[in-house]
A and B are shown apart, each in its own frame.
Chain A
């Protein structure tokens, strides 16, 4: 276990738990030293291979949705990565120390940190499309996250994003939804479900010990899109699943992943796994969320530096299992509009889950058409990387979604399915902004619609 894993795995002290940036900023010298120390920690892992690999060839430009929408040099992935690489060179390479101007090495001054914030949070969603198409395989997304880790340690995370992290740590969910609201939403949704299915046994169980599945959801489903939760509950009921929500830690998102705070990310992971143990479930199933899947399934065990005692998977693979075993019998004619699929970057490119959602859609909708490109080559919707919680970058977020909007338009689809609530929010805004006239649905919503 390396030093940064140990740091993330240790229980955070009160001082370490991230708080929204305060008005009193530290002095320039202190902050610069703190930044250097954090950078030294961050670059000790495999990211150093990528920090040394970029050859500044610029061929990554057109792989980036942000560059394609705003083709200026600052949006070239190699340029964005350079904002971090230049600081790495200054403190961790020989020429960077002896002849900084020769290699473009840059001091970690306060002005440089300001620019770094604008670049790594405001000009990049860390979707990684550039990484998979890079000539030398430089993982620009990892380089960008290294930059975010430095900034998070200095409490320089944009306020909206930091507030979301704070909400999660203080209340258990990113939207600070009170427990009573979850319970009351669960109750009226249960009534709706019983009415729709004509079955008194249907419902949304909460804190039911001994259930087989602990289902983590996006708080957005409670607050704004309860029908998405209703759909999943309906699918579970039709499949005869034994499942439960947790009223304490039910949030599938992990905004520590976005902000760059591995300490926060580890804490959120730890809480969920402790809750799963407390409820005595056999597996944890993740609602449709790209970064949530990646965070919990792939990054979480490394943040807490131990294997999970329980299996964990996306609801997509569980739904496919239900279909394969005949536990669900959908009628695709009930979804008669043309449907296309948006591939969330963290689920597909970084998470390895690209096929179950396609196989599901082919069984539950009448007409399914792919976007081009798709799967790991798909373009980011523009809403990733925590962009949706950073209003200061809202204009660029909508502009960068132009590529996605055109992809959607070319399919002629009326419905865009996406297994990510974060992407769904962005796609709904894009539909309004670019007048696409589409509906956005979770995959489980289409499955449920084909069952009732």
Chain B
């Protein structure tokens, strides 16, 4: 609980410290709201986003890992309220969590193997994915031993403490950055793009 309060408080402080930058004095040519909505929805599809389209496998692996992680975090919260329900949920979602764990391990290995990723990675990048894999692994194991739930809750607390400090805070800044860019380009009439496909 304390870890959750810390994570929420620290992230709020970081988000609030991102200043809007004052009013835009230029004359608008479009809708910032439409641009924001586009960039948080259709703009993320592989049909619109080249980085996903050129790397469909890695894109899919990333999606699966994130889905599994979100599911585990949700079940940790459920488990706080109703221990049995939480463990039942983890049992039910084992296939997803298992695949998500494999996805996470693939990304961890890939980061150490790829020339480009090694050049741009710092220890925090490895810690972030390792912590996530740890959550997924413990979520798989938790229903199988007596102290499973307590161990998982303790681990999740550690993860939440680290979340605002390192790269994992992209969980929140993802929305801020996509929102800000979408809003800015929407204001200029550049988003949503008229012809969004690669033409």
State the A residues within 8 Å of B (CB).
Answer: 1-2, 4-5, 44-46, 48-50, 52-63, 73-74, 76, 78-79, 82, 93-95, 101-104, 131-139, 297-302, 304-308, 311, 348-352, 354-355, 370, 372-377
Contact = CB atoms under 8 A, between A and B. Distances in A.
Contact of A49 (B62, B118, B167, B177): B177
Interface string B23-51: 11111011000000001000110000111
Nearest to B39: A137
Given A59-B55, A375-B193, A46 B170 contact: no
A76 B119 contact: yes
B82 interface: no
B178 A137 contact: yes
Contacts of B179: 49, 137
Contact of A307 (B19, B25, B30, B178): B25
Interface in B79-126: 114-125
Given A2-B22, A137-B182, A56 B198 contact: no
A55 to B, nearest CB: 5
Contacts of B119: 73-74, 76, 79
Interface stretch (B69-77, B138-146, B184-192): B184-192
B176 interface: yes
Contact of B120 (A44, A76, A131, A137): A76
A101 B126 CA distance: 13
A169 B96 CA distance: 61
B53 to A, nearest CB: 9
Contacts of B116: 58, 61, 73, 76, 79
A352 B31 CA distance: 12
Secondary structure class of chain B's binding surface, majority of residues: helix
B24 to A, nearest CB: 6
Contacts of A1: 22-23
A62 B50 contact: yes
Interface string B161-188: 0000111011001101111111011001
A119 to B, nearest CB: 12
A48 B18 contact: yes
B49 A133 contact: yes
B21 A139 contact: no
B131 interface: no
Contacts of A307: 25-27
B3 interface: no
Contacts of B78: none
